[in-house]
Structure 1
Amino acid sequence: MPPPGPAISAHGLCFGYAGREVLHDVSVELSYGTLTAFAGPNGSGKSTLVELLAGVRVPLRGEVRRLGSISLVVQRPAAPETLPLTVRDTVSMGTWGRRIGRREARGVVAEMIAAVGLDGLESRSLTELSGGQRQRALLAQALASRADIVLMDEPDAGLDSTSRQHIHELLADQAHRRGVAVGCASHDERFVATADRVVRLESGHATTHGTTGARAATL
Structure 2
Amino acid sequence: MPLVTFVLEARSLSHAYGRTAVLHGVSLGVAPGEVVAVAGPSGSGKSTLLHLLGGLDTPTGGEILWGASRVDRLDVEARAGLRASRVGLVFQHHYLLPDLSVLDNVALPALVLGRDARERATELLVRVGLAAKADLLPNALSGGERQRAALARAMLARPAALLADEPTGSLDRVNAENVADMLLDLARTEGAAVLLVTHDERLASKADRTLHLLDGRLVTSGM
TM class, shorter-chain normalised?
Answer: 0.7 to 0.9
Which residue in 1 is equivalent to 2:192?
180
Superposition deviation, residue 191 in structure 1: 1.5
Provide closer, same or farther for how the CA distance between residues 167 and 127 of structure 1 changes in structure 2, counting only shifts above 3 A.
Answer: closer
Contact 2:104 2:118 in 1 (8 A): no
Which residue in 2 is equivalent to 1:118?
130
Which letter does structure 2 place at the counterpart of 1:30? V
Q: TM-score, normalised by structure 1?
A: 0.80
Superposition deviation, residue 145 in structure 1: 1.8
- The match for 1:73 among 86, 90, 94 is 90
Superposition deviation, residue 82 in structure 1: 6.4
Superposition deviation, residue 121 in structure 1: 2.2
Q: How does 1:135-154 map to 2 (within 5 A)?
A: 135-154=147-166
Deviations 1:167-197, CA, capped at 9 Å, x for gaps: 2222332343332101111222112112001
Q: TM-score, normalised by structure 2?
A: 0.79
RMSD: 2.7
SS at match of 1:177: helix
Provide closer, same or farther for how the CA distance between residues 180 and 217 of structure 1 changes in structure 2, counting only shifts above 3 A.
Answer: closer
Which residue in 1 is equivalent to 2:5?
5
Superposition deviation, residue 40 in structure 1: 0.6
Superposition deviation, residue 138 in structure 1: 1.6
SS at match of 2:219: strand
Provide closer, same or farther for how the CA distance between residues 156 and 173 of structure 1 changes in structure 2, counting only shifts above 3 A.
Answer: same
Paired with 1:99 and 1:148, the residues of 2 have a C-alpha distance of 21
Paired with 2:88 and 2:46, the residues of 1 have a C-alpha distance of 17
Q: How does 1:172-211 map to 2 (within 5 A)?
A: 172-208=184-220
SS at match of 1:75: coil
Paired with 1:169 and 1:130, the residues of 2 have a C-alpha distance of 17
Greater per-residue helix proportion: 2
Moved more, 15-24 or 173-182: 173-182
Moved more, 82-91 or 180-189: 82-91
Deviations 1:115-152, CA, capped at 9 Å, x for gaps: 33333322222344454433322211011221111111
Q: How does 1:42-81 map to 2 (within 5 A)?
A: 42-67=42-67, 69-76=86-93
Paired with 1:191 and 1:107, the residues of 2 have a C-alpha distance of 31
| Percent identity of paired positions between Structure 1 and Structure 2 | 36
- The match for 1:92 among 107, 111, 116 is 107
- Structure 1 regions of 5+ residues with no counterpart? 209-215
Contact 2:147 2:179 in 1 (8 A): no
Paired with 1:52 and 1:145, the residues of 2 have a C-alpha distance of 20
Paired with 1:13 and 1:122, the residues of 2 have a C-alpha distance of 41
Deviations 1:22-59, CA, capped at 9 Å, x for gaps: 11111111111101112111111111111111111110
Q: How many residues align?
A: 203
Paired with 1:15 and 1:175, the residues of 2 have a C-alpha distance of 28
Paired with 1:132 and 1:166, the residues of 2 have a C-alpha distance of 8
